[in-house]
Amino acid sequence: MANSDCIPQVHICAMRVAELDPNGVPTPGSNLLTVDSIVEIGATPVITEGDQIEDKNGCGVVCVNYKGPDTLLRYDITLIVCDQNPYVMAALGRGTILDDVVGLETIRGYAFPALGEASTEAVSIEFWAKRIDDGALHADYPYAWWVLPKVTDLRHDAMTFSASSNRPAFVGRAFENENWFDGPLNDWPVESDRAVQWFPTPALPTVACEPTILPAS
């Protein structure tokens, strides 16, 4: 058996999205959405390079050579889901859920955001991957619980409608958030003040099509 700290991760099995207040705290009374429709999520570091200072003397030889430190600004996020769940679309695309009552049933759709200034509201995004030990799930901690405690500037990315499945795509920006604390359900066990982090966990969250209401902590 491999050292449980040094095992690979595969797949992505669930995602949870929580709305944040202006201070970055999960908002009681808001929607908490947990689904298994996540297909792919990417996090690309955005770095500003430090100043490069170089001077030559009169003979053309470099006499001053200095490179300042680079600065990590944020992570640019890309995210793809496999269905057109209006609750997921609204949570990640920042649009509006459409509904109409037909008989005893409520039919729901989705409207993209209005043209103009994009939403700056923030959410936290959590997702769960599998941890593999000798070809099987780790016996005690089979999942890696990933946390992005503050994702802003969420919006729809380019979409293509064709003969294959129509997979909604989204983009956003991930930052640090010391006010996420132990998460929307008060169960994250360690520090959460980095833009991206993960920790082993024994179970997946319960997924559903519709959101639940986040209770007060």
Q: Give 122-163 pLDDT, tens digit per residue.
A: 999 999 999 999 999 999 999 999 999 999 999 999 988 888
The confidence score (pLDDT) of residue 155 equals 95
pTM, two decimal places: 0.93
C-alpha distances in angstroms, 12 versus 60, 72, 126, 127, 217?
A: 55, 26, 11, 7, 28
Supply the mean pLDDT for the chain.
95
